Structure 1
Amino acid sequence: MNAPRTRVQRRPVHGVLLLDKPLGLSSNDALQKAKWLLRAEKAGHTGTLDPMATGVLPLCFGAATKFSQLHLDADKTYEAVARLGVRTTTGDAEGEVIEERDVPRIAPGKLAEVRGRFLGALQQVPPMYSALKRDGKALYEYARAGVEVVREARDVHIHELNLALATDKDAPTLRIVAKVSKGTYIRTLAEDIGEALGCGASLIALRRLATGPFDVAQCVTLEQLEAMSEDARRAALLPVQALLPDHTAVTLDPENAGRFLSGLRRRGEWPDERTVAVYGHEPRALLGTAHVKAGELIPGRLLAPTEIQQILQSTS
């Protein structure tokens, strides 16, 4: 007979946890584990990583969930290993092998030429095994049913790209390190590079090294988080404003801060600005986001007064 599960007493937790997601765990499973360890009431993430991928996964708690969508547009850096000469149904090691080819001798000049071909702006067709929706269903649902859906090519940008040949257990492999724009599929990039090298390729490993301003060196693992005390877990959280690094800061006095939190526009001598982080003065606390147009500070996403008070109490 199983012992009854201990009910976790939830509490308000506000901030961002940079998690080094482990191999084999879905992003949501990792989120739920961290949420349980922090005893947080509300949590979300800033975009998923495949179960076979590891690395930077920012997790948002409490008030931070209001700004998680802003991070979806961030550039990301990945390190991947592709097996050359093998193509699979999914573009990675989880799929069935559909083609094997001999790998030709690849001269350094050829590798440099292929790198140049994929560096910069390009168009990429999303893979069938992806979470993109068509008529309310994810593409991978169609793929598992044996249905091929026509996908339109999308504009992406490869900001940085490094390629290096290696051998893994007598199989030739290609190490790829790429800094890419949002919407870029590394599986598809690896497959396309493999075709350009004349042998095809499929991913066997994928690790996200950075997303936006967050680097894997800043991350904690679930094992490390589990070994911490409750106070240490709370201390591992970055403040909510860590999600707003490129926002221009504007500070309001108490009277204007109260009106701003009520959703009212404020007037001031501010230049036009698309992204603004608004703070209260003494004590300094994040109130929300806004934009400035023609001298008006126009509210965007706002924190609730109770959230602001909880954050101030937790940091005092």
Structure 2
Amino acid sequence: MPDAPPTPDGILLVDKPGGITSHTAVSRARRALGTRKVGHAGTLDPMATGLLILGIGPSTRLLTHMVGLDKTYTATIALGAATTTDDAEGEVTTTADASHVSRADLAGPMAALTGDIEQVPSAVSAIKVDGQRAYDRVRAGEEVELRARPVTVARFDVLAFRPGARAEVDVVVDCSSGTYIRALARDLGEALGVGGHLTALRRTRIGPFAVAGAPLADALPEPAAALLLPPAAAASRILPVARLDDERAANLAHGRRTPALAGEHGVVAAVHGDRLVGIARVSGNRLLPVTNFPT
């Protein structure tokens, strides 16, 4: 009997088009790679486009170290109307004439929404309230009020401004994980006194990973294994690297602590040659295994 093909293993960067869910993108990656073991490091709404990070095979173990990475988005905010979902898919709740708003008027409110801020997430977020997703409660007709949460918006800049009764603002946002761009659109509109909501959203970066060059999620070649970023290369982009000799690699591979070398600190990608042995943590003068990877 011929040997079974090796299980695909690595990180796949894909560009999600609008109109499909992140779950659909994962399903298409499963088909293109011939494996069920595909996970993600954070979803996008169906309306949104841009970068999804998918973990394939054993590399799904890396995703927990990627979900908290900071992100970059480009977006379009419509001023002059607020919606139930803070984006174009919701019902309009209030309208106002935004024709008096100028580009200069944006500077103060956008500065106030930059830095370390307390942000109230959109009511249709995936945050759980008493064990149920907030968006499920909203769809059931409940009024949901979520608590403000600390987030960091490192950049909230105007790319273009189109004045009018329904003014539009193209923006770029650098932010911490957990920041809701819909909420920034809502809060900007409220600060300007005209209401606002999101009409377009694209994620262009997650940590060190960019959408540029990523294949479309609905056009993956089959097989798609050649598109995978090897585990060691992916881990080395998000964590400091501990280079292991044979002895230290064997220890960590078998779940044993092993001596740490000078200059190794914190959580590290433990690499032997071009292979990721695992994720390890330095404690005192020892490397302790956190997540092991198969040989």
State whether residues 10 and 39 of structure 1, in contact with CA within 8 Å, keep that contact through their aligned partners in structure 2. Answer: no
Count the aligned residue pairs.
290
State whether residues 97 and 166 of structure 2, in contact with CA within 8 Å, keep that contact through their aligned partners in structure 1. Answer: no
Q: Which of the two has greater helix per residue?
A: 1
**Does 2:101 correspond to 1:106?**
yes
Paired amino acid for 2:246? P
**Does 2:53 correspond to 1:63?**
no
Match of 2:190 in 1: 195
Match of 1:30 in 2: 25
Q: Offset at 1:94?
A: 1.0
Q: Offset at 1:65?
A: 0.3
Match of 1:215 in 2: 210
Match of 2:289 in 1: 299
Paired amino acid for 1:115? M
Q: Offset at 1:167?
A: 5.7
State whether residues 157 and 181 of structure 1, in contact with CA within 8 Å, keep that contact through their aligned partners in structure 2. Answer: yes
- The whole-number CA distance in structure 1 between the counterparts of 2:88 and 2:171 is 16
What whole-Å deviation, never above 9, does each CA across 1:47-104 have from its counterpart, x for those lacking one?
1101110001111101210010111111111111122111111111111111111114
Three-state SS of the structure 1 residue aligned to 2:13 is: strand
Match of 1:154 in 2: 149
What whole-Å deviation, never above 9, does each CA across 1:4-34 have from its counterpart, x for those lacking one?
xxxxx98510111111001111111101111
**Does 2:277 correspond to 1:287?**
yes
Q: Offset at 1:270?
A: 3.1
- The whole-number CA distance in structure 1 between the counterparts of 2:25 and 2:177 is 22
Query: Displaced runs of 4+ in structure 1, greater than 4 A?
Result: none
Q: Offset at 1:149?
A: 3.0
What whole-Å deviation, never above 9, does each CA across 1:233-277 have from its counterpart, x for those lacking one?
222111123144242222222233222111110124334511211
Q: Would the alpha carbon gap of residues 125 and 111 (structure 1) be closer, same or farther in structure 2, given more than 3 Å must change?
A: same
TM-score, normalised via structure 2 length: 0.92
- The whole-number CA distance in structure 2 between the counterparts of 1:121 and 1:129 is 23
RMSD value, Cα: 1.9
- The whole-number CA distance in structure 2 between the counterparts of 1:10 and 1:92 is 45
Paired amino acid for 1:255? E
- The whole-number CA distance in structure 2 between the counterparts of 1:180 and 1:126 is 14
Match of 1:255 in 2: 247
Paired amino acid for 2:140? A
State whether residues 85 and 103 of structure 1, in contact with CA within 8 Å, keep that contact through their aligned partners in structure 2. Answer: yes
Q: Would the alpha carbon gap of residues 49 and 244 (structure 1) be closer, same or farther in structure 2, given more than 3 Å must change?
A: farther
What are structure 2's unaligned runs of at least 5 residues?
Answer: none
State whether residues 83 and 202 of structure 1, in contact with CA within 8 Å, keep that contact through their aligned partners in structure 2. Answer: yes
- The whole-number CA distance in structure 1 between the counterparts of 2:97 and 2:66 is 41
Q: Offset at 1:222?
A: 3.0
Q: Would the alpha carbon gap of residues 224 and 145 (structure 1) be closer, same or farther in structure 2, given more than 3 Å must change?
A: closer
Paired amino acid for 1:220? P
Q: Would the alpha carbon gap of residues 206 and 18 (structure 1) be closer, same or farther in structure 2, given more than 3 Å must change?
A: same
State whether residues 249 and 277 of structure 1, in contact with CA within 8 Å, keep that contact through their aligned partners in structure 2. Answer: yes
Three-state SS of the structure 1 residue aligned to 2:167 is: strand
- The whole-number CA distance in structure 2 between the counterparts of 1:87 and 1:117 is 20
Match of 1:3 in 2: none
State whether residues 247 and 277 of structure 1, in contact with CA within 8 Å, keep that contact through their aligned partners in structure 2. Answer: yes
Q: Would the alpha carbon gap of residues 202 and 10 (structure 1) be closer, same or farther in structure 2, given more than 3 Å must change?
A: farther
Identity %: 38
State whether residues 51 and 205 of structure 2, in contact with CA within 8 Å, keep that contact through their aligned partners in structure 1. Answer: yes
Three-state SS of the structure 2 residue aligned to 1:245 is: helix
What are structure 1's unaligned runs of at least 5 residues?
Answer: 1-8, 306-316
- The whole-number CA distance in structure 1 between the counterparts of 2:288 and 2:101 is 56
Match of 1:311 in 2: none
**Does 2:199 correspond to 1:204?**
yes
Match of 1:132 in 2: 127
Paired amino acid for 1:289? I
Equivalent residue for 1:276, pick from 256, 268, 271: 268
Match of 2:175 in 1: 180
